[in-house]
Amino acid sequence: MNTSGTPVSDTPMSGTPMIQMAGVSKTFNRTIHAVRDVDLDVAEGEVVVIVGPSGSGKSTVLRCINLLEVPTTGTVVVDGHTLTNAGTDLDRVRAEVGMVFQQFNLFPHLTVMENITLAQRKVRGRSRAEAQEMGMRQLTRVGIPDKADAFPRQLSGGQQQRVAIARSLAMEPKVMLFDEPTSALDPEMVKEVLDVMLELAGEGMTMVVVTHEMGFAKAAADRLVFIDEGEIVETGLPEEVFSNPSHDRTRAFFAKILY
Amino acid sequence: MSEFRSSRDGRITDERPWWDTFPWWSLIIVGLLAWMGWQIIVSDDYGLAWERIIPGLGLTLRSTIYAFGIALAIALIAGTGQMSRNVIIRNLARTYVEFVRGIPMLPLIFTVALILVPELTNLANTRLDAWFGWEFKLSFEMRATVTLAVIYGAYMAEIFRGGIQSIPPGQIEAGRSLGLNRRQTMRSVVLPQAMRAIIPPMGNDFIAILKDTSLLSVLGALEITQRARQFSASTFKFREGYFVSAFIYLVLTLSLSVLLGVLERRMSRDRKGER
Ligand SMILES: Nc1ncnc2c1ncn2[C@@H]1O[C@H](COP(=O)(O)OP(=O)(O)OP(=O)(O)O)[C@@H](O)[C@H]1O
Ligand SMILES: [Mg+2]
């Protein structure tokens, strides 16, 4: 593992990490070992980018953080709540952890504003007016306040993904998870989404991002985590891992994706 | 895409002439119904058949509505039951659906009406009589109606299940990751979307139930088909009897289809922002 003297990469001096994964493994159908013994701590305000080959378990690691996948073994602690304990109210913790998906997953039967207000009202118990005000604020932040009354299908992919981000942010989460948020987008729309994410990182949001956008990793990541065959192979500052990977598997991977 | 030769300038075109796309069948049906209605008005024999058969309309409609209502309740329970996390509920629901769907309607009606209901009521009545001096009785009409409901409950359970399972898992994940619980996700995210897949086939089943209430006649319930049978048998006017009952069924089912079409169009108009 990387210990090469990066100020933010290891557990910070003050306070406990926002996310603690310890010995997390996930096995599907008793045979597919998607994630093997992953330890990952993410400090408050830290931006961690996860990269790795297709099928290496990146999504599964991410989905174990908000327990969309239940780990086969290991513990996951988010903001002090141990999600892998039977008694934990998962819904309450999930409200604190936003997730942005590759396929956006907006609710097609609801307008943009309804998409954003639904969980605010049902989970946070906000009034319609409060939720709409917050919704408008988040839509303005992602740059599309004029689309509040549109239906998702009327929007471009980039706009849909920005709505999805606004929908998560409206819950005022403590952590944001991104699973290849730009992979389903046409090239000319990638930037508008990455810009929003960069801004969010700059504001100190705790983020775990699975992406192949190395430009984003360089610009925003405090730490890069390389996963292969379900294991964390290497972790460190993005620049270091790109330019001077300490494992053959990492080198082979970047040789394929970097010019 | 089929290609047509335009007679005017000899070019091929994919535009179809109006007479090719016009729904002639609806004109034919309307014409047929008008002609049938006219027969009933002008002919004494047909008129007599009408007078004797139309009193069955109430029972036909009532059984349809009861059967559909009960079936809807059963279907909701059995349909969601099949997706329950509880292994017992899940398997009970599945057993019911597979069992009922595998048996033809007529023998099932006989079994329920002539064996199951009498035995169950006997069982209940020995107690009820002893305790309250009162006995429970289910008319043959209701026995057959309940049987219809039990049968269609199984078919409609599959419609519910299919509609709910047609929603991509990403929708549920998005809901859950926002902190909505299972129930809230089902109510606000899954069901509203599933309804679009559920309502049209449910409407078709309503029409199917309406037609299948004719099976009540095997138990002697005086609905339209039974009255047509009685009229024909007693007057030997078979043609008139069955002609009139067919006319009544057609008017009912066709107008329901039209209503259903309007409903479906209204539902798709609600999505007019969407492509
Ligand atoms: N629900 C599931 N059931 C069975 N196998 C699964 C399931 N989800 C993931 N897997 C398997 O687990 C492994 C890791 O999958 P995962 O989606 O986490 O990889 P990934 O790194 O996100 O890949 P990609 O880059 O293609 O998104 C793969 O072999 C995948 O086939
Ligand atoms: Mg993935």
A161 lines ligand 1 (CB under 6 A): no
pLDDT of residue B136 exceeding 80: no
- Quick count: other Cβ atoms within 10 Å of Cβ B125? 15
pLDDT of residue A204: 94
Average pLDDT on B71-98 reads 94
pLDDT of residue B268 exceeding 80: no
Contacts of A164 in chain B (CB under 8 A): 174
* Burial of B75 from C-beta contacts in 10 A (0-12 / 13-18 / 19+): buried
- Nearest-neighbour CA in chain B from A119: distance (Å): 6
pLDDT of residue A176: 97
pLDDT of residue B124: 82
pLDDT of residue A254: 86
Mean pLDDT (chain A) is 91
Average pLDDT on B8-24 reads 83
pLDDT of residue B3: 56
Percentage of residues in chain A having pLDDT higher than 90: 84
A31 lines ligand 1 (CB under 6 A): no
pLDDT of residue A259: 61
Chain segment A190-224, per-residue pLDDT in tens = 999 999 999 999 999 999 999 999 999 999 999 99
**Residue A216 vs residues A23, A49, A51, A224: alpha-carbon distances, Å:** 28, 9, 12, 11
Confidence of residue A59 (pLDDT cuts 50, 70, 90): very high
Using the Cβ of A183 and the Cβ atoms of chain B, whether some distance falls under 8 Å is answered with: no
**Which of residues A107 and A4 earns the better pLDDT score?**
A107
pLDDT of residue A172 exceeding 90: yes
Average pLDDT on A41-52 reads 96
Top mutation candidate among A24, A30, A60, A65 for ligand 1, by most atoms within 8 Å of CB? A60
pLDDT of residue B7: 57
pLDDT of residue B275 exceeding 60: no
Using the Cβ of A125 and the Cβ atoms of chain B, whether some distance falls under 8 Å is answered with: no
pLDDT of residue A258: 67
The most confident of B9-13, B111-115, B132-136, by mean pLDDT: B111-115
The verdict on a CB contact (< 8 Å) between A108 and B170 is no
ipTM of the complex: 0.90
Report how far Cα B176 is from the mean position of its chain's Cα atoms: 35
Contacts of A88 in chain B (CB under 8 A): none
Residues A12-45 as b/e (b if ≥16 CB within 10 A, e otherwise) read: beeeebbbbbeebbbeeeeeebbbbebebbbbbe
pLDDT of residue B63: 94
Contact A34, A28 (CB under 8 A): yes
Top mutation candidate among A59, A72, A229 for ligand 1, by most atoms within 8 Å of CB? A59
Closest ligand to Cα A60: 1
pLDDT of residue A61 exceeding 80: yes
pLDDT of residue A168: 97
Chain segment B200-220, per-residue pLDDT in tens = 999 999 999 999 999 989 888
pLDDT of residue B167: 95
pLDDT of residue B142 exceeding 90: no
pLDDT of residue A139 exceeding 90: yes
